[in-house]
Amino acid sequence: MTVKRLLNKLSKAQQDYYTFLAKECFSGFTNAEDNFKIYRYASCNAWLFHSSEFFWKALTVLSGKYFDLSHEASQADMAKISNDLLSDNDKIWPYDILSKFPKNRQDLARYGYYEKGTVTRSPIEIFNRTDTENNLNEIGWLVDRLREIHYYQIFEPAIKIGVLSGYILARKEKPCSYYPHSQYRKKPAQWMLDLNNIVYDAQSKLLQTSLTSISNLNSGAFSIVINPFGEAYPELGNAEGVGFKTILSYIRDGGIFVNSGGQPFVYSWDVNTGSCQLLVSFIPALSNIESGKVEGIPKLSIKTGLTIPHETLLLKRYFNVETEWDSPEKYMVGPKEVDIQFDDLLGRDDDKPITKAKVYRPAKGFSHSIIPLAHCSDKSLWDDIYPVVAVKFGRGFLIHIGMSLDEEREYKIVLEIIRRLGLVGYEMLAKSYPSSFLKQSN
């Protein structure tokens, strides 16, 4: 069944309402995952009920209908969901999941305890790992279905895109002005203007771009957010903090975050002091590390033949992605010019299948969470190396662009990648492997 777009048929207030409900469904499932991982099974089930409730309510509002003030979905409630979103056959399984969700789990979610008459049961007696894991996977199926529908709704032109402005809250802050390996466009406003010039057809534009502070990322306003600062990003303080956590939350709850160049999250820019800090956690072999500064910015240099432990970098710790750093034995020192080709997800151009680009910090290796978007055509030197990948994280994606954006050519390639994501790429991302907990953890 082909899902039809209904969001733009709603009023602005209804659109905002639907977006809130969908985001609550995703964030509730995120909280359920986190509680399961730390063995809080009762709390996990409470969040699963919360997520399942907002699943059917989001689809009801998207259908232009209303729902009664009830936590549980009835068959009449499910019937209100448009057949352009779920066919009658497709509604059977969601209703089956929602209707059989155990009563004691519902009561726990609503009231904080389970009680019948004068007998109060302990949540520890009610919940166990096996049942909770099964519930995670069932509700995960609902979340996956809403996620696929949601992507189709928010990617109708003009697609709303945010470009990080360099601020956290934009209140007497010193905005980020550091662009490691993304020097060609050194002002977020220039990115915004260039993106707004991308057309969908002769009558309309593909993108509707605006600047945004990090504090606005989780408002539900943006289908895609772009970090124009390359390996840096704005932060409160000079350590991993609220800026990074807000970006993680945006991605995990369904956002697509495009990092413009180099390796994401290597440097933090403190908007309070206007200073930049290298984000590297404890490294055991300190004798192998030489620290210094270049133009006042802290740099990390490695003695010949050694590499930075990937686990010390945020990209590895949170996204489980390693990149190819300087490797003299492979003739890769600094940005390396190679031939690259877009992969099927972005669509191939038969008339121009290959383009040259300076690749820098490309993703290496492969896992279930990495979707290649571009590859190097020279497999003898770049085997298992991907300059551009979509990294699955929760319900969303980090687009890692391992290129040097210090010149116009690579900058235009990134604009083309964003254009293709808006036209065709989101459909493949929407249908990518499920986000249900068990399948993801396997």
Q: What residues contact 37, with CB distance under 8 A and at least 6 apart?
A: none
Any idea what the CATH number is for the domain that residue 26 is in? 1.20.120.330
Of 148, 155, 161, the residue nearest 58 (C-alpha): 148
- Under a CB-based contact definition with an 8 Å cutoff, are residues 21 and 61 in contact? yes
What integer is the mean pLDDT of 63-79? 89
Residue 439 domain flag: no
- Under a CB-based contact definition with an 8 Å cutoff, are residues 191 and 228 in contact? yes
pLDDT band at 440 (very low <50, low <70, confident <90, very high): very low
For residue range 420-438, list pLDDT tens digits in order. Answer: 999 888 888 888 766 554 4
Residue 273 domain flag: yes
Q: Which residue reads 């279905």 in tokens?
A: 145
Beta bridge partners of 357: 338
Same domain, 163 and 303: yes
Residue 2 domain flag: no
Same domain, 292 and 148: no
Domain boundary among 121, 154, 187: 154
Same domain, 179 and 142: no
Residue 440 domain flag: no
Looking at the chain, the whole-number percentage of residues with pLDDT higher than 90 is 55
Domain boundary among 136, 154, 172: 154
Q: How far apart are alpha carbons 49 and 35 in whole angstroms? A: 13
Mean pLDDT highest for which of 76-80, 209-213, 429-433? 209-213
Question: Average pLDDT of the chain?
Answer: 85
Give the total number of structural domains in the chain.
Answer: 2
User: Would you say the pTM of this structure is higher than 0.75?
Assistant: yes
Residue 15 domain flag: yes
Residue 441 domain flag: no
Same domain, 62 and 172: no
Same domain, 299 and 365: yes
Same domain, 147 and 189: no
Q: Which domain holds residue 15?
A: 7-154
Q: What is the pLDDT of residue 400?
A: 96
Same domain, 138 and 269: no
Any idea what the CATH number is for the domain that residue 382 is in? 3.40.50.880
Domain boundary among 109, 139, 154: 154
Q: What residues contact 34, with CB distance under 8 A and at least 6 apart?
A: none
